[in-house]
Amino acid sequence: MKRIILIMLLVLAVNVEASGLSRLRKIYETSEQKIEKETEAEILAVGQKYVAALNQMKQTCKQKGDVQGIIALNKEIGRFATNQTIQATGTVHIAKAQKYALPLIEKVKVDRYKKLETLLATYKKALEKELKRLTMAEKIEEALEVETELKRINFVKADVETKIPEPEDKNKWISKDATYTVSSWYHNPLPSLLTCEGRMHGGNDDKFAFHTEGTGQDYIIIDLRRLSLVTGIQIWNRTHPKAGPRARTLTMWTSMTQEFKDEPVWKAQELQDVWDVELEKPVKARYVKLGLTDRAPFHLKQVKIFGESKGRIMSASSSRSTTTAKSLRPSKPIKRLLK
């Protein structure tokens, strides 16, 4: 069926000059009918899977002796048989089947609109070519009919386009509401590292959000608070001429837990005021670790992590090897390193 639609689209695109308005319209309407039939078949298939899931749950209720569950499921099976719709309501017994089926129905609907959008764009292009051909031939009356059809199709196309959701941005700023912990601190860590606004340490030309003691391989761990697909990161270094170069071994690790592998996902190749990093491939992670691989104090101005949040928000947790700003007291200054 998809092959038939494709052939008709090619006819529209290639054989324009040999086609009048009535022929173009007929090809368009036939292609549209094919899309509608295909959509109906896909929705029917989802409905069959939905009923199968309800019947499977009914068997589970029988085994458990859940009378109320059987009653609710029988009622839903009967309701669906009558009106062939899946509603986002019902008891807990049918919620699982609805949660499975509703996204499938939505996907079928969106796919239908995408197919219609492609068909309408091809039809519009064919009409524009036909209008030009008729105008050049001074067939004014026929040209006006094509022009009227073009206006109608532009209206329909605009309406269809509003039904297609924007693709989800997989490069969103996902760390603004994250939390972070530090391996140690000399200047207390501030939320402005991740919020990128608010109070910071340092002067006007040398701001930073945290400062570790420099006891060796210092680091921070950022908790995104949910499973995420990390695609990139922006890191603003401290700009002090003596302090900035301390970040020359800046390294990034990611993990689903707070246990990190030795192999990093990124490492600075050269010193910069701002690292704008796009990972070679997206990485699934909840935790992002930034740190140094040598002995030096660690301090940054701001960090933005980009990607796509996948899971639900989880409560913030802290690793045994890290300490939050609230529970750690400053140690004795290491003046030689911190100057």
d(CA 58, CA 50): 12
Q: What is the DSSP string of 172-231?
A: EE--TT-EEEES--SB---THHHH--S--EEETTEEES-B---SSS-EEEEEEEEEEEEE
What pLDDT, in 10s, does the model give residues 264-308?
Answer: 999 999 999 999 999 999 999 999 999 999 999 999 999 999 998
Determine the residue type at 246. Answer: R
For helices 21-64 and 92-136, the axis angle rounded to 10 degrees is: 170
What are the percentages of helix, strand and coil residues in the chain, rounded to 5?
Answer: 45, 20, 35
d(CA 296, CA 246): 6
Tell me the domains of the chain and their CATH numbers.
2-162 (no CATH), 172-338 (2.60.120.260)
Q: How many degrees, rounded to 5, is the angle at CA 287 between CA 191 and CA 196?
A: 25
Report the half-sphere exposure of 302 (CA within 13 A, side-chain side).
17
Please give the structure tokens belonging to residue 151: 């206006």
Please give the structure tokens belonging to residue 337: 């390193």
Dihedrals phi, psi of 262, to nearest 5 degrees: -70, -30
What pLDDT, in 10s, does the model give residues 188-235?
Answer: 999 999 999 999 998 877 899 999 999 888 999 999 999 999 999 999
d(CA 51, CA 48): 5
Q: Residue 83 has what pLDDT?
A: 81
What b/e string do you get for 182-197 counting C-beta neighbours within 10 Å, with b at 16 or more?
A: bbbbbbebbbbbbebe
Q: Which residues contact 312 (CB under 8 A, 6 or more apart)?
A: 226
Q: Residue 241 has what pLDDT?
A: 85
What CA–CA distances, in Å, run from 104 to 100, 110, 144? 7, 10, 43
Segments in the chain below pLDDT 70? 1-19, 89-90, 168-170, 311-339
Q: What is the torsional sign of CA 252, 253, 254, 258?
A: negative
Q: What is the torsional sign of CA 90, 93, 94, 100?
A: positive
